[in-house]
Amino acid sequence: MRIGAVTFPGTLDDVDTVRAIERAGAEAVALWHGDADLRGVDAVVLPGGFSYGDYLRAGAIARFAPVMEPVIDAARKGMPVLGICNGFQILCEAGLLPGALVRNHKLRFVCRDQWLRVESTTTAWTTRYEPGAEILVPVKSGEGAYMADERELDTLEGEGRVVFRYVEDNPNGSRRDIAGVSDGSGRIVGLMPHPEHATDPLTGPTDDGLGIFLSAMDNVKQGAA
């Protein structure tokens, strides 16, 4: 199985994303922001960082990078796509996920380990978890507050598309403590915390994030069966 990790100018976490993909047992494929195709990958991860310096808005320029055309096309055809932190912002800017990420409520960059609750285990990226499981992964962002209007929030809740929720403490002021959401198919997921930094307890707080990448592998294998 081949999972692509996209690098934009300003991306910081592509190397850790590649390491997480490989630790899960998949082949990591480096994709560049200027690429015109996805090199035959089975899934795509948009890693965290500060693409294009976060000018205009976080993710606003990256959304128009050449590689995003095939990413958007593949996502709409059913390819699993994960956006982490800045990648989540890019997916929202591209219209693949609803809502927007804005400045943290205390207007400060937050960097710490954060407990999350897995609210949905039916997405392409969360089947390895038990419903309600609590996982510990790092969060590090300055524009991580998830916002949507009440109607959209009610839709997300009603359709089971809130995938991750902050527990114990909300680090950024996200509406309804939302840390991650999915599209209607469950194949496109975005979250602000960083599961790629929690795949080995030697270098991260836990290995709780590894299940996200293992889930994607399971999903692709089932689709190919």
- Does the annotation mark 111 as catalytic? no
> Once rounded to an integer, what is the mean pLDDT over residues 172-196?
98
Name the catalytic one among 119, 143, 196, 197. Answer: 196
Instruction: Kindly name the residue from 33, 92, 119, 194 that is annotated as catalytic.
Output: 194
pLDDT at 225 over 70: no
Mean local confidence (pLDDT), 165-179: 97
Q: How many CA atoms lie within 13 A of 117 on its CB side?
A: 13
83: its two tokens: 């956006």
Least confident of 14-23, 33-42, 51-60, 191-200: 51-60
At 73-127, the pLDDT tens digits run 999 999 999 999 999 999 999 999 999 999 999 899 999 999 999 999 999 999 9
- 92 included as an active-site residue: no
Provide the residue type at 190 as one letter.
G
Q: How far is CA 70 from CA 33, 76, 117, 193, in A?
A: 11, 10, 32, 25
Query: What mean pLDDT is reported for the chain?
Result: 96
Q: Is the pLDDT of residue 56 over 90?
A: no
Q: Which domains does the chain have, with CATH numbers?
A: 2-224 (3.40.50.880)
Mean pLDDT calculated for residue range 135-155: 97
Task: Give the C-alpha separation, 126 to 108, whole Å.
Answer: 30
The active-site residue out of 85, 92, 119, 197 is: 85
Q: In what order do the strands lie in the sheet with 27-32?
A: 27-32, 2-7, 43-46, 81-84, 188-191, 178-182, 162-166, 110-118, 134-141
Task: Say whether 85 is catalytic.
Answer: yes
**pLDDT of 224 over the 70 cut:** no
Query: Could you give the CA distance from residue 192 to residue 145 in angstroms, rounded to a whole number?
Result: 9
- Cα of first residue to Cα of last residue in the chain, in angstroms, is 13
Output the pTM of the full model.
0.96
Residue 78 makes CB contacts below 8 A (sequence gap 6+) with 185, 187
Contact of 53 with 19, CB cutoff 8 Å: no
